[in-house]
Structure 1
């Protein structure tokens, strides 16, 4: 279990899970009580039985958690208490002293594991074919209730509060000027940092922009007709269709947003947890299903199971789900314009939940310093296409150095 040294405000952190804990996980996987198979040939009923059987077989027989554990343990990790809650974070400084400090926030069902592939290219650009002027100092926190961060014991840890905590974290680390990046929940937190505009925040980058006109998202989320009198370009119409599809297939978010505690089965069954986490969005589920069918993709089997296993070993299935409930209490929309005032960079990946049109991005981010549409990558862009993602961060923040 985690071990900490509580002698300072920012405490070194390390961890190691026991053989007994890993043995219990394997035994539970082998004891999975499988459901009947789906009655359709596609994924319209959710994560398919064949995918889950192969995932479980590999998880129990071939997967080695110790590999990712060693990789994580080799990175500088810390804990600090902010607003009464322990916040865990990776902090990897570049050897280039003029590097730009960057805080990167993951989402659900992600974790700090999403960002591991981008750390070295960001901190050591010269070693990865780029110029030293593009170097970053990288801070990657675990969201409250996720990974090694504390689990809130009372309500109130919503994205607005997390955004304020991240500003405090960067201040505590001594960074007087920095930038922020996020996807999924991280995109929402990062947008809200851009709204709050704490001292020192130079700008933000998002790969899931809050750019949708509020009336449009409100109508789509409620299943109502779009406001009358609107006209859309082809790009905007496509974005509307993508959002309509997403809101028809967002049962996981509705459940976590309204009844997270009812999902007790996720804390009891590793196979159940994995099936639920895989079914985040159609494109990601299709990609991961291809991975477990033996096709090479941007993610590997180990990538997927590293992330699921972290949730299992840290016992964070329910505490992570509660972030959806917390956000539901405030009513902060996922995709709508938030009122970001700082400079912003937007990267649009083709398999994201929706592809933000440039026209919407320009309205949502009045100080838009970078906009680019990529030809490959999805919702977990830093994880799946780290090379493209790193290039986007370098380009997006270059003018803010």
Structure 2
């Protein structure tokens, strides 16, 4: 097995850009179905305007160059080609930190967060709290090779992450994750307990389920009711959809940029808990860069494996091998989270926002990551 680490740069062919534009020009738009707002899905007028912006105003080359400014690499681990960013801090004593993205996102999620972690001095932070940042693309996402078979789990991805950190020469490091990363990061502490000093997740720990109701207080039950009413709990059940027939849906997402854009817009809209329109929460170009990455790499189907290779949905449970911190405790309940975690950091007043908080609140997230890891360095 090769242990070589190869420099990598994104270079999307001009023909692929032309093909995308041609498909957008030839889009076959449906009629608007009856119903108010988003009640039946992404409104036609909304998507037409967004697709028009993607076609005529969005500049992939500018964002490709911005992302290529981060040092990127490829290496083979367990037979998988793994793409990753490795951005070292200039600050002495910086703590290595691996950031694990989720679905339907990519390493693009952390573009505005990385500099705030590697160079806190430039963002009003304490230089003693700097990080060397490693951002792998999860297998099947972006430029990482897709899994060649079934049997993949968060633990298996965690083992790849631990081997990557070891290959980079890091013996002591932190792990951070949101969405699927909130499952992977705790597993890294389990597979490398002597190396992971702390695990930080965006949220999801201590979320109550129906069987917890009898022991919950009145206030906790009210919080549970609010949780169950959220859009992201009641929208399109992508867990069930991607378990049932991912190959079938992939044809549309892979062949039609409008279908792909509609799917991404639907999920990012549902994942928005800020109370503000999506375009006011996540920069439109940032959102389209993530969509474009999925389109150019053809990974709408290959990134679905965490769902089709699972048997059902369950909230992240966590681990006890290393201390845990979260960006937001609520709507999780701390005493429930402490059944499976050593909770060291449980803020209840961090700004709420989008599920992908790194794209919405990078300053607050970076400050909170620094606050947690200052306790375990």
TM-score of the superposition, structure 2-length normalised? 0.92
1:246-267: per-residue Cα shift (whole Å, max 9, x none)?
A: 4443422211122211111110
1:124-177: per-residue Cα shift (whole Å, max 9, x none)?
A: 111111111110000001010000101122122321100111111111111010
Query: How big is the shift at 1:236?
Result: 4.9
> Which residue of 240, 245, 250 maps to 1:259?
245
1:208-238: per-residue Cα shift (whole Å, max 9, x none)?
A: 233235xx2xx5xxxxxx5673333424531
Report whether the alignment pairs 1:372 with 2:350: no
Indicate how the Cα distance of structure 1 residues 81 and 10 shifts in structure 2: closer, same or farther if over 3 A, else same: same
Contact 1:179 1:204 in 2 (8 A): yes
Does the residue aligned with 1:400 lie in a helix, a strand or coil?
A: coil
Q: Which whole-Å CA distance do the structure 1 matches of 2:27 and 2:63 have between them?
A: 24
Matches within 5 A, 1:300-379: 300-326=283-309, 328-329=310-311, 331=312, 333-348=313-328, 355-365=331-341, 367-373=342-348, 374-379=350-355
Indicate how the Cα distance of structure 1 residues 289 and 32 shifts in structure 2: closer, same or farther if over 3 A, else same: farther
Query: How big is the shift at 1:80?
Result: 1.0
Match of residue 199 from structure 1: 194
Does the residue aligned with 1:198 lie in a helix, a strand or coil?
A: coil
Q: Which whole-Å CA distance do the structure 1 matches of 2:158 and 2:293 have between them?
A: 24
Match of residue 391 from structure 1: 367
Indicate how the Cα distance of structure 1 residues 268 and 283 shifts in structure 2: closer, same or farther if over 3 A, else same: closer
TM-score of the superposition, structure 1-length normalised? 0.87
Does the residue aligned with 2:347 lie in a helix, a strand or coil?
A: strand
Q: Which runs of 5+ in 2 are unaligned?
A: none
Q: Which runs of 5+ in 1 are unaligned?
A: 1-5, 220-225
Contact 1:119 1:138 in 2 (8 A): yes
Contact 1:195 1:338 in 2 (8 A): no
Report whether the alignment pairs 1:148 with 2:143: yes
Query: How big is the shift at 1:291?
Result: 5.0
Contact 2:272 2:354 in 1 (8 A): no
Matches within 5 A, 1:268-307: 268-280=255-267, 283-284=270-271, 290=277, 297-307=280-290
Query: How big is the shift at 1:298?
Result: 3.4
